[in-house]
Amino acid sequence: MSLIVLENITHQNGGKILYKNSEMRINKGEHVALVGPNGAGKSTLLNIIAQKITPDHGNIEWHPKAKIGYLDQHQEVDPNITSEEYLKDAFKNLFEIEAKIHKIYENMAIEYKESDLIKALELQDYLTSHNFDTIDKTVGNLVSGLGINPNNMKKKLSELSGGQRGKILLAKLLLKNDDFILLDEPTNFLDIEQVEWLINFLNNYENAFLMISHDIEFVNRVAKIIFAIENQKINRYVGDYNKYLELSALKADQYDKARESQQQQIAKLKDYIARNAARFSTAKSAQSRQKQLDKMDVLDERKKIVKPKMSFKYKRPNSAVVVKSQNLEIGYNFSLTAPLTFELREGQKCIVKGYNGIGKTTFLKTVSNKLNPIDGWCKLGDGVEVRYFEQVEKFHEYENPISYLSSRHPQVLEPEIRSTLSRFGIRTELMLNPMNDLSGGEQTKVRLASLSLEPASLLILDEPTNHIDVLAKESLLEAIREFQGTVLITTHDINFETNWADKVLNFEDLVE
C-alpha cells in the first residue's frame, strides 16, 4: 500500500531548479533515507511532503487514512508547558477517552443506566488495547533512551537547552507512532549511546519513515531504501547507503557514456547540416537532419559535486598561554559543574565533550567573555584574537550571504567576499538569496566563511558539523587540522575524526 505518491514534481528555490518532473513513492512500512549535498533540496522536499510548501508543478497524493508526523527542529511549541506535559500530549486522544469514562461514572452516580456502563466498559477496553496503563513506562523508556535528563521533565520547554529541546521534540514524534514520520537530522544533539538506541528503535519501527541525515553510518544501518536528489531528479535505490553509492556510481557512468555518445551524434549531424544545407541536391537531406536534431532530447552535462576548500587565517598571540582558568565555575543562576582549572597553549586543539545540557555551550561563552563566570576566573592571553561560531544564529529578514559577510567585515571588498563564499561551497546563484531561504548546511557554510575573513588566535566552534554534508565535514576537518592556532570545539558527530586533538575536556567528569 502506498502512503504517499509524488508525480511530475517540479520545484525551484531562489531561481535554482531543485527537481524537474520527478517521481517518488513510499509504501507502508518502508524505511527510507533522502540523500544529497547541501542545497540539493532535501529539507524542501520534506516540507513539500508535509504539505508546508506547495510545489511549483506536480501532484501529491496521500493515503486518506495515513497519519503523518514531522520532526522539525524549528517548529514552534508552547514554551510554558513542561516537557512531561508535552510528551504526554502524544496520547491526547487516550486521555480524552479516560476523561469520558470518568464523566460517564459521575453521571451513573446520579442516574444509573446499563447502556452507560456498557459504553464505559467499551471505552476501557479501547484504552487497554492501546496500552494506556503503560504510558508512563513508555515515556520513561524514550526519555532514558534519548538521554533526556529526568530533572528536565518538570521544566518548561523554554528553560531547556537547544539539545535537550531537540530530544524532547524527537521523543514526542516517536511516541505518537504515526503511519509515516519525517525525520530531519534526528541524530543532531545525540551522543554515541543515544544514536545506538535510536538505530535499534528505528530498525524495530513497524511503520514507515523518511529521514535526512548526514551521519553516513547511521543511514547505512537504518535505511533500506535510498532516495537521492541527483541532477534535478529524485532517484530510488533499493539497499543501504553503501549499495546506493555503488548503484549511483554505475548510473552516473552509464549517463556519462550515453551523453558522450549523444554529443558525438550531435556533432555529426551539425557537420552534415553545415556541409549540405546550401547545396540544392542535398538541402532536403540537411533539413531532415535538422528536424532530427531539433527533436532530440539533449542530455545535460552531469553536475559534479565540488568539495569546499575551507581554511582559517592565523594571528600569532603575544603570549604562549591562550586560555587559562582557575577554579572556574560556569552557569547562569547557579554553577553547572565543579571548579575547573585548565589552560590551552598556542596551537593546541581541545574537544569539549559531555551530554546535552551539561554546560558545554555555557563554557564556550564564558571562555569567549560572552558570559561571566559564577566563580573563579577565566582569562585570554595577551593579543589573543577570538573567532566564535555559535551553535544557533538568527538572521535578518533580508540578509543574504554577501550582506552577512559585508556587515561583519566592512573592510573586506566584495570580490574577496564572493571568492571566500565560493571556497566554502556557496554557489554564485545563492549569494544574493535570503539567508533564511538557504538550507541549514548552506547557512553553516556562510557562517564558517565569515570566520575565515579575519585572522584568529583561537577558534571556538560550537557544533559546527550540524547540517553540513560529508564533503563539507571533510573540508572543515582539514581546515582545523591545518590551522596553526588554538581550537576549542564541541561536536556530537561520531563520524567527525578527532584524533588530531591534543586535549579532551569531558564535562561529565566535572559534574558533582
Are residue 297 and residue 330 in the same domain, yes or no? Answer: no
Instruction: Please name the residue that has the C-alpha cell 549540405.
Output: 276
Domain of 35, in residue numbers: 1-67+178-303
Mean pLDDT of the chain: 91
State the pLDDT confidence band at 218, using cuts at 50, 70 and 90: very high
| Residue (of 303, 241, 173, 142) closest to 495 by Cα position | 241
Are residue 362 and residue 283 in the same domain, yes or no? Answer: no
* C-beta separation of 201 from 90 below 8 A: no
Encode 385-399: b = buried (16+ Cβ within 10 Å), e = exposed.
Answer: bbbbbbbeeebeeee
CATH of the domain at 390: 3.40.50.300
Tell me the average pLDDT across 281-295. Answer: 87
User: Between residues 192 and 381, which one has the greater pLDDT?
Assistant: 381
Are residue 294 and residue 332 in the same domain, yes or no? Answer: no
State the pLDDT confidence band at 38, using cuts at 50, 70 and 90: confident
Is there a domain that residue 144 lies in?
no
Q: Is the pLDDT of residue 54 over 80?
A: yes
Query: Of the candidates 303, 332, 364, which is a domain's last residue?
Result: 303
Q: Which whole-number Å values give the CA distances from 335 to 200, 354, 373, in the listed order?
A: 36, 16, 9
Is there a domain that residue 142 lies in?
no
Are residue 365 and residue 251 in the same domain, yes or no? Answer: no
Q: For residue range 425-453, list pLDDT tens digits in order.
A: 998 988 999 998 888 899 999 999 999 99
Is there a domain that residue 143 lies in?
no
Are residue 337 and residue 275 in the same domain, yes or no? Answer: no
Cα distance between residue 291 and residue 286, in whole Å: 9
Are residue 347 and residue 439 in the same domain, yes or no? Answer: yes
Tell me the average pLDDT across 164-180. Answer: 92
Are residue 328 and residue 456 in the same domain, yes or no? Answer: yes
Output the pLDDT for position 153: 92
Output the pLDDT for position 175: 94
Is there a domain that residue 153 lies in?
no
Is there a domain that residue 72 lies in?
no
Q: Is the pLDDT of residue 73 over 70?
A: no
Q: Is the pLDDT of residue 512 over 70?
A: no
Tell me the average pLDDT across 189-205. Answer: 92
Number of domains within the chain: 2
Are residue 346 and residue 218 in the same domain, yes or no? Answer: no
Is there a domain that residue 125 lies in?
no
Question: In one letter, which amino acid is 143?
Answer: V
Q: Which whole-number Å values give the CA distances from 149 to 24, 87, 141, in the listed order?
A: 39, 14, 12
Output the pLDDT for position 511: 64
| pLDDT-above-90 percentage for the chain | 62
Query: Of the candidates 254, 273, 303, which is a domain's last residue?
Result: 303
Q: For residue range 344-388, list pLDDT tens digits in order.
A: 999 999 999 887 778 899 999 999 999 999 999 999 999 999 999
Are residue 256 and residue 383 in the same domain, yes or no? Answer: no
- In the chain, % helix, strand, coil (3-state, to 5) comes to 45, 20, 35
Is there a domain that residue 168 lies in?
no
Query: Of the candidates 303, 331, 365, which is a domain's last residue?
Result: 303
State the pLDDT confidence band at 404, using cuts at 50, 70 and 90: very high
Are residue 210 and residue 358 in the same domain, yes or no? Answer: no
Are residue 294 and residue 325 in the same domain, yes or no? Answer: no
Are residue 332 and residue 292 in the same domain, yes or no? Answer: no
Beta bridge partners of 504: 351
* C-beta separation of 152 from 164 below 8 A: yes
State the pLDDT confidence band at 214, using cuts at 50, 70 and 90: confident
Output the pLDDT for position 283: 81
Is there a domain that residue 131 lies in?
no
